[in-house]
Structure 1
Amino acid sequence: MNFALDAIWWRLSNPHIRALASVLVAPALWRTGRELSVRELLGERGFRYLLDLDDNKSFRLPENVGNPLLGKYAENLLAFWLANAPHSRLLGRNVQLFNLKNQLVGELDFVAQLNGRIYHIELACKYFGAYDGQPENMVGLNSQDNLLNKIDKLNQQLNYSQNPAGQQALANLGVNAAEVQCVSVVRGMGFSHSGSLKNVRYAENAWTGVLLNHLQQIDFKNKKFYRLPKNQFLAPARVSCSLVVDWDKIGEQSGLIAEVVQRPDGYFHEIQRFMLI
């Protein structure tokens, strides 16, 4: 799937707003059955609000939003949105849950009101690869991180707000647990040798890329590439010409690599992504 051809990635230029947009509108990598819809997350005026933020050249996200850790960065972006979007109110973030012995037993990522409805939101942004693309074989750049474990963990987290500790934590926020809808925001990409994912666990429109081994002999003549830092995984790359290189300059270190082409705005835009292992 050539995810980078969507018009929004041609339109947005601020790298933080592009990353924010990906958290809001990118497809899920896998389905939980409790997805928070893009329509609900964006609201009626959310897309216009994104464009206004991008067009305001003096706008700067709060300094504490940026983070070298991908997960924290994605969380900070979503927290900014929930606190500032026209239709949203952030009620709690990283809400700690304690049992009757006052032991910490978990957290709720976000409690927020969207369009008048109250949600417990769990966020996950993951990048997994396997030669055959099958869920049981999918691992991250850290091989200890795997898809099936993350699916199980997220399913557990989605139930936190309905257990006694979660109900008490919500009550402390002035929220009735019975009125709360538990939802997920799952983002990321899946990589396989073929570049496609064929399994019922994956979302039909999931973003996909190609898994490569650094020992493979690859002929990428006359193409340009950009090695993505971890905090730039979220959105399709848009980089200046000074940052792009030929494939033979990429090196053997594992990571995510974007193939890029120059567009009329003078920047190089991502058209395909690789996971190099």
Structure 2
Amino acid sequence: MNYSLDALWWRLTDPDVRALASVLTAPALWHSGAELGVCELLGDKGFRYLLDLDGNPENLRQYLQARRPFGNRLGWYAESLLAFWLETAPHTVLLAQNAVVQNTQGQTAGAADFIARINGQPCHIELTCKYYGSRNGRPSEMAGLNPRDRLADKAAKLTQQTALLQTEAGQGVLHGLGLQPQQVRAVTVVRGIGFSAAAQPGSQAPLNPYCWHGLYIEDWAEYDFSDGLKRYYALPRMDFLAPARIAGNETQGADDIRSLESGLVAELERRPDGYWHEARRLMKADRAGA
């Protein structure tokens, strides 16, 4: 699935609102078995609320500014975006964020990303945003730009994280919030992109065959730069979340991209609004030292 071509990206223009929309609406990169559905997360008025935020993003900007700097930590930025939504969307109530769980010896066992009510249902929510690729698209071989960051390891860790509040110490945290543990639903929000050399994502579990898919490249010789009309944008890490929307003077040509040893790159096309929009995402992997 090429999520960057969704009609939503023709409407939203504010960078932070676009990032928030991606956290809310992108397809899961892999199936955790406990996905929080997009419709549940958005709610009945979610799209209208996003459009209103895009027209008047000041509240979101102030919220994020109070939590900066993010120190180039994409996860912190994504968590702040979701926290804003859970605090302000009409169908959600944020009860706790980064709720620390300590064992009987006083040692930290972990922290729950969010505890919130969604349409009245108490939920423990774990969020992750990851960008993994491999030439063959097999989940067992997919890794991030840092080759030690692997999909298989993160998927296993996420399963552990979703069980955190089911422990005796975790149940104590829930009781402290006035919640009955048996009523709390553990769910995940798994976002990101899966990259492979194939035109379509693979279907091996746990990879979602309908995930946001991009092109995986180890050598620029594998990529066709022959269309001189194409423009590109080497994405800073904090811009990974949403499809790129770039002013013409910020775009880059083929020679700029060929010089990159690794990174994520947006292949762009010009749209009637005068901006260059992401048409496809590329992962240039440097596996020489892997």
TM above 0.5, yes or no, is: yes
Among residues 197, 205, 218, which one is paired with 1:200 in the alignment?
205
CA deviation after TM superposition for structure 1 residue 73, in Å: 0.7
Q: For residue 157 of structure 2, what is the aligned residue in structure 1? A: 153
* Alignment-mate amino acid for residue 263 of structure 1: R
Deviations 1:110-137 (A, max 9, x none): 0001111100000010000101110111
CA deviation after TM superposition for structure 1 residue 38, in Å: 0.8
Aligned residues: 277
Q: Is the 8 A contact 2:135 2:216 kept in 1?
A: yes
Structure 2 runs not aligned, ≥5 long: 286-290
Q: Is the 8 A contact 1:132 1:193 kept in 2?
A: yes
> Which SS does the other structure have where 2:209 is aligned?
coil
CA deviation after TM superposition for structure 1 residue 58, in Å: 4.8
Distance 1:37 1:257 in 2: 28
Q: Are the structure 2 counterparts of residues 57 and 82 from structure 1 closer, same or farther at C-alpha, using a change threshold of 3 Å?
A: closer
Among residues 90, 95, 99, which one is paired with 1:95 in the alignment?
99
Q: Are the structure 2 counterparts of residues 163 and 60 from structure 1 closer, same or farther at C-alpha, using a change threshold of 3 Å?
A: closer
Question: Structure 2 matches for 1:204-223, cutoff 5 A?
Answer: 204-214=209-219, 216=221, 218-220=223-225, 221-222=227-228, 223=230
CA deviation after TM superposition for structure 1 residue 196, in Å: 2.5
Deviations 1:141-164 (A, max 9, x none): 011100000010000111111111
CA deviation after TM superposition for structure 1 residue 215, in Å: 5.0
Q: For residue 64 of structure 1, what is the aligned residue in structure 2? A: 66
* Alignment-mate amino acid for residue 211 of structure 1: Y
| Structure 1 range deviating more: 55-64 or 92-101 | 55-64
Among residues 135, 139, 147, which one is paired with 1:135 in the alignment?
139
Q: Percent identity?
A: 48
Question: Structure 2 matches for 1:160-171, cutoff 5 A?
Answer: 160-171=164-175
Q: Does 1:85 align with 2:89?
A: yes
Q: Are the structure 2 counterparts of residues 34 and 73 from structure 1 closer, same or farther at C-alpha, using a change threshold of 3 Å?
A: same
Distance 1:105 1:245 in 2: 46
Distance 2:157 2:223 in 1: 37
CA deviation after TM superposition for structure 1 residue 203, in Å: 1.3
| Structure 1 range deviating more: 67-76 or 212-221 | 212-221
Q: For residue 239 of structure 1, what is the aligned residue in structure 2? A: 246
Q: For residue 252 of structure 1, what is the aligned residue in structure 2? A: 260
Deviations 1:153-178 (A, max 9, x none): 00011111111111011112222111
* Alignment-mate amino acid for residue 233 of structure 1: F
* Alignment-mate amino acid for residue 191 of structure 1: F
What TM-score comes out, normalization by structure 1 length? 0.96
Q: Are the structure 2 counterparts of residues 154 and 60 from structure 1 closer, same or farther at C-alpha, using a change threshold of 3 Å?
A: closer
Deviations 1:227-267 (A, max 9, x none): 11111111110010011111111222311000001101011
CA deviation after TM superposition for structure 1 residue 202, in Å: 1.4
Q: Is the 8 A contact 2:3 2:26 kept in 1?
A: no
Question: Structure 2 matches for 1:35-46, cutoff 5 A?
Answer: 35-46=35-46
CA deviation after TM superposition for structure 1 residue 197, in Å: 2.0
The runs of at least 4 aligned residues of structure 1 exceeding 4 Å deviation read 57-60
Q: Are the structure 2 counterparts of residues 120 and 59 from structure 1 closer, same or farther at C-alpha, using a change threshold of 3 Å?
A: closer
Backbone CA RMSD of aligned residues: 1.4
Q: For residue 24 of structure 2, what is the aligned residue in structure 1? A: 24
Q: Are the structure 2 counterparts of residues 239 and 33 from structure 1 closer, same or farther at C-alpha, using a change threshold of 3 Å?
A: same
Q: Are the structure 2 counterparts of residues 217 and 126 from structure 1 closer, same or farther at C-alpha, using a change threshold of 3 Å?
A: closer
Q: Are the structure 2 counterparts of residues 215 and 240 from structure 1 closer, same or farther at C-alpha, using a change threshold of 3 Å?
A: closer
Structure 1 runs not aligned, ≥5 long: none
Distance 1:2 1:60 in 2: 27
| Structure 1 range deviating more: 64-73 or 99-108 | 64-73
> Which SS does the other structure have where 1:258 is aligned?
strand
Distance 1:256 1:91 in 2: 35
What TM-score comes out, normalization by structure 2 length? 0.92
